[in-house]
Amino acid sequence: MTAIKHVGVVGAGQMGRGITEVCARAGLHVTLCDVTEDRARAGLAGVADSLLKAEKRGAITPEDRALALAGVSVTDDLSRLSRADLVIEAAVEDEQAKTELFRQLDEVVTDPAAVLASNTSSIPIARLAAATGRPEAVVGLHFFNPVPVMPLVEVIPSLHTSKATELRMRAFAGEILGKKTVVAQDRAGFVVNSLLVPYLLAAVRMVSSGTATAEDIDTGMTAGCAHPMGPLRLADLIGLDTVAAIGEALYEEYREPLYAPPPLLRRMVESGLLGRKSGQGFFSYRAA
């Protein structure tokens, strides 16, 4: 089996930047791709900033930082990923967009041994694999935010994913990136979000019903249950649009009311109140 030396990352947003950073810190060559070169370069700037912070914390040396940055290139051209050993899709959490992207990747990635992986939070991998001619080489690799800090990766094989691909990706995440891995069945939400998202949505419903304020709900869970972060600040960190999208996918799969995004969450997303990334969600993140 070909060793993984060149990783393509598609999507230069928060998750794509984090995945790029951990791969670069592991000594891999990474090509970061987005729809425009400006967005890809903005992603690289985010990686550089995160590496500098890691150096200041003493987590890496100046030499480590320089080597990691030197290993990252950016592009707006998917064909630049043609020789990648592994391509990780970290695009917007939209099934139609991801499916089209996998169709394109199947055309441009020429190595038959290459693996196509998705960082989707909730979309069944089999649906993405169906857009390709190599479903046995398509798998889910679900990282958690912030990627350089969070130790877990969910490995999600579909019904068509070969055992060799699954084992190769567990070794990649565990041995090369140093992450803990769990294997989840190919069901919307996988392990973590199937448990987490109903909890976040329940907190939103409590705000909507007037049970308590956002601040008191979060304090209740941090001070009363020893959670490191309350559910509403966590939802803001993930992105309320992403939380809503995961809820929609879970509800479509299971038809259980606890998965349905509450009206308040839908209105906030429609109003551009997306959490940290927009500066306002259930809490304000704008500078005073």
Q: Which of 193, 194, 248, 278 is catalytic?
A: 193
Contact 234, 222 (CB under 8 A): no
Contact 32, 111 (CB under 8 A): no
Per DSSP, 110 falls in state -
**Beta strands across the sheet bearing 72-75:** 72-75, 29-33, 6-10, 86-89, 115-118, 138-143, 152-157, 180-183
Residue 277 marked ligand-binding: yes
Query: What amino acid is encoded at 253 in this protein?
Result: E
- How many helices (H) and strands (E) the chain has is answered by 11, 8
Query: Nearest Cα to 236, choosing from 198, 189, 279, 193?
Result: 279
Cis amide prior to 146 (ω within 30 degrees): yes
Residue 12 marked ligand-binding: yes
Contact 85, 4 (CB under 8 A): yes
Residue 180 marked ligand-binding: no
Residue 14 marked ligand-binding: yes
Q: Which helix (H) or strand (E) covers residue 115, if one does?
A: strand 115-118
How many Cβ atoms from other residues are within 10 Å of residue 163's Cβ?
9
Residue 11 marked ligand-binding: yes
Residue 68 marked ligand-binding: no
| Ramachandran angles phi, psi of 28, nearest 5° | -90, 150
Query: What amino acid is encoded at 279 in this protein?
Result: G
How many Cβ atoms from other residues are within 10 Å of residue 239's Cβ?
23
Residue 145 marked ligand-binding: yes
Residue 121 marked ligand-binding: yes
Q: Which of 89, 118, 142, 278 is catalytic?
A: 142
Residue 150 marked ligand-binding: no
Query: What amino acid is encoded at 158 in this protein?
Result: S
Residue 91 marked ligand-binding: no
DSSP lists the bridge partners of residue 182 as 154
Q: Which of 50, 121, 158, 194 is catalytic?
A: 121
Q: Which of 21, 89, 154, 248 is catalytic?
A: 154
Q: Is 142 a catalytic residue?
A: yes
Annotated binding-site residues for NAD(+) read 11-16, 34, 93, 98, 121, 145, 277
Active site residues: 121, 142, 154, 193
Annotated binding-site residues read 11-16, 34, 93, 98, 121, 145, 277
